Amino acid sequence: CYTCVGSTEEECNRQGSRSCPGYSDACAIIRGTSSSVMKTCSYKTFCNQAISHGYRAPEVKVHCCFTDNCNAVGGASTLVGGACYLLILLPALFFLLQI
Model pLDDT, residue 36 = 87
Return the higher-pLDDT residue of 75 and 25. Answer: 25
Could you tell me the end-to-end alpha-carbon distance of the chain, in angstroms, rounded to an integer? 14
Where are the domains positioned within the chain?
4-98
Distance CA 6, CA 12 (A): 4
pLDDT of residue 95: 57
Would you say the pTM of this structure is higher than 0.75?
no
Write the CATH number of the domain with boundaries 4-98: 2.10.60
Mean pLDDT score, 25-52: 88
